[in-house]
Structure 1
Amino acid sequence: MPKRGYHHGNLRQALVDAALRLIETKGPTGFTLSEAAKQAGVTPAAVYRHFEGRDDLIAEAARQGYEIFADVMQFAYDKGQPSALASFEATGRAYLAFARKYPGHYIAMFESGISVNRTPELAAVASRARGVMERAAQDLSQHIPPEKRPPASMFSAHIWAMSHGVVELFARNSPGTQSPFPPEDLLETGIGVYLRGLGLITPDS
């Protein structure tokens, strides 16, 4: 097998790409570094020139995922402007779209058990991604009296949790589960119920 990583001068990225494929098919704990090395076309020993172990490799996959995720969320936020409601709803839909388009990254980020604080770089980009949704929540809740206004971090965490639940239960074909409605509809109506409860949209919106 040709040593693609060396040939192209980017063995580190070749290993990340191999890990992402393995994560999609076998899960974050279902493969070895030797398997990742084989897919990248190098010897197992070559992996250790770039990564200390499998967790280190998965952490880099997660970091790259958060970079994409933050960009996707920012694009959704900007696209909804100047409407605070449109921007907020767009960030929720972007979460679902990201999970579908980048399943390997999504699993590395949220299902591998790798802490976002494993490295400063991973922590920084994860914070950037969360910050987009918090900013959207802050914009949307400005007209709520300060004494009744939920913290933006709590507000966005509720929507993040709802989005994550829809992805996990109904958008990724979890064994034994079947959604009675399209995941997009579940998420949109769930967000609607939440926002109506806060008085941010009218009952007939």
Structure 2
Amino acid sequence: MKTAVVLLPGLNRDRDMIAAIEKVSGQPPLTVWQTDTEIPPVDLIVVPGGFSYGDYLRCGAIAARMPVMRAVAYHAARGVRVLGVCNGFQILLEAGLLPGALMRNASLKFVCREVKLEVANAQTVFTNRYTEGQIIRCPVAHHDGNYFADPEVLARLEDNRQVVFRYAEGTNPNGSINDIAGIVNEAGNVLGIMPHPENLIEDAHGGSDGRALFESVLEIAA
């Protein structure tokens, strides 16, 4: 599969994401810059984590209005897979590619630690190498990861099984409603996730629980 990683000022997980994709797939991804108005034909576009534009205004608000994000939206509408991690999740919400909002952590503190995640839906293109209800480890590092949606949107997410990952075993680090850690759009081709699966894909990381996400979306043979 051909992949592309979006680069924006202030992101600091782009190299981690590029390394993870190359490690799992054997192929380095393309990189596209904030001012690019077109993205070459690819199968997966990734918006990595960090602090785009210093998190000014709201996390992801400025990044979501860059030319490259219009190109991301164009491809997403045509079925291309899009993955947003941490700040990338915030950017996808601000760009209107996913519903809801990410607010300040309930503790009002930056959280950097490992959490447990439940795979709430193992039938998506991002999770098919996991099993339903599987509990995995994953690191988090964020200040604004408290997911919220109004009751109508939340009910729709739950009814449509668009909640893909939940914080498990009392490890919710931010107060997210319904322990939501990751969601997909209605079409199932756009995933936003707050934890960092790219930082737990090999023994050198202390575990490989995040690897199956990349194997799923990159269609790596089991």
TM-score by length of 1: 0.27
TM-score by length of 2: 0.26
Bigger proportion of residues as strand: 2
